[in-house]
């Protein structure tokens, strides 16, 4: 695929490869690492607008910024109340985040039942108010959404137009319906419809696990770029693969362990990095056996030693 910079409301990304907001994974170290490997834009994991307004310590922790990250800071918010959305956008928590992405695609039942995430696909007037609330707070607003709730309830074009008309500067379209969750084929036709319906940049999302997947997604949809989600969890070097950049897996993983420890402490680091290493070795020889050994480790020093042996 042709890589290019994307202008988002005056903020220019270094490439059109984006890292998706990954709940439980998109911490500051992981975001900076993916950026260094070629991601042109990264987002925090999904943050509750209401949680920020109530000064939730746990919510605020999701907004850490790595000192080595020199890209544009973007936060993903979720919520269903325009007042909370505006207050969160105006809060000191987000003063270092010029771009706010609104989650309008999360399929998780807990989020959906609260009228948030993908529930907004069936309430365009409310979705519009949320976008306008963020814009009125002086932030550049982007939106990530799905093509519909089911194959019989597709809203791709109308939703794209609503986002643009409400003031969004970019949209990311996940080419699956809410009921498909994270599996099944990506609907290229629907993403293409979104691209053809608006003038603002459109990023395609869904099913990118390799350079070939990214190229096909852009070719089939005409999108301005791609957003990588689970593909980055299995190997953050996917961005370098797409850009054909040289990298060293061992060095990347060992640095991630050390940087995560330095930023979040020993216990968080070994618990978090056990999960990451399990992703990184998925599909390799003796993966199941190695995974069992990984989850008994309670030391980052041991993980570093293991990484030197199992990462190839």
Q: Which residues, at least 6 apart from 31, have a Cβ–Cβ distance to it below 8 Å?
A: 19, 42, 43, 44, 66, 69
Q: Coil, helix or strand for 121? A: helix
Total residues belonging to the chain: 312
Q: Which of 34, 75, 106, 141 is catalytic?
A: 106
Tell me if 208 sits within 8 A of 175, measured CB to CB: no
Among candidate residues 19, 66, 38, the one with its CA nearest the CA of residue 247: 38
CA distance 228 to 220: 16
Whether the CB-CB separation of 209 and 138 falls below 8 Å is answered with no
- Whether 106 is a known active-site residue: answer yes
What is the enclosing helix (H) or strand (E) of 280? helix 266-280
Beta-carbon count within 10 A of 230 CB: 15
Cα(90)–Cα(88) distance, rounded to whole angstroms?
Answer: 5
Distance of alpha carbon 223 from alpha carbon 2, whole angstroms = 11
Measured CA to CA, the distance from residue 101 to residue 78 in angstroms comes to: 9
Catalytic residue numbers read: 106
């Amino acid at each position: 695929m042709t890589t290019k910079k994307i202008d988002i409301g005056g903020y220019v990304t270094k490439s059109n490869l984006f890292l998706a907001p990954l709940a439980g994974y998109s911490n500051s170290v992981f975001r900076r690492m993916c950026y260094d490997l070629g991601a042109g834009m990264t987002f925090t994991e999904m943050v509750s607008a209401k949680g920020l307004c109530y000064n939730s310590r746990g919510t605020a922790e999701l907004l850490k910024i790595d000192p080595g990250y020199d890209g544009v800071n973007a936060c993903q918010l979720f919520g269903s109340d325009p007042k909370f959305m505006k207050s969160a956008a105006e809060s000191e928590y987000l003063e270092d985040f010029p771009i706010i992405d609104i989650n309008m695609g999360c399929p998780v039942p807990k989020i959906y039942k609260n009228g948030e995430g993908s529930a907004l696909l069936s309430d365009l007037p409310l979705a519009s108010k949320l976008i306008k609330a963020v814009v009125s707070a002086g932030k550049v607003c982007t939106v990530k959404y799905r093509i519909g709730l089911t194959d019989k309830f597709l809203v791709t074009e109308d939703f794209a137009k609503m986002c643009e008309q409400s003031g969004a500067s970019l949209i990311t379209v996940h080419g699956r319906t809410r009921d498909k969750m994270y599996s099944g084929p990506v609907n290229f036709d629907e993403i293409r419809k979104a691209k053809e319906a608006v003038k603002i940049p459109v990023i395609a999302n869904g099913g990118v696990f390799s350079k070939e997947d990214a190229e096909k997604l852009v070719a089939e949809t005409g999108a301005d770029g791609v957003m990588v989600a689970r593909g980055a969890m299995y190997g953050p070097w996917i961005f370098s693969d797409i850009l054909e950049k040289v990298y060293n897996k061992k060095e990347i993983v060992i640095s991630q362990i050390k940087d995560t420890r330095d930023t979040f402490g020993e216990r968080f680091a070994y618990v978090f990095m056990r999960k990451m290493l399990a992703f990184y070795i998925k599909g390799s020889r003796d993966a199941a056996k190695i995974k069992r050994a990984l989850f008994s480790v309670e030391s980052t020093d041991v993980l570093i030693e293991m990484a030197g042996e199992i990462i190839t």
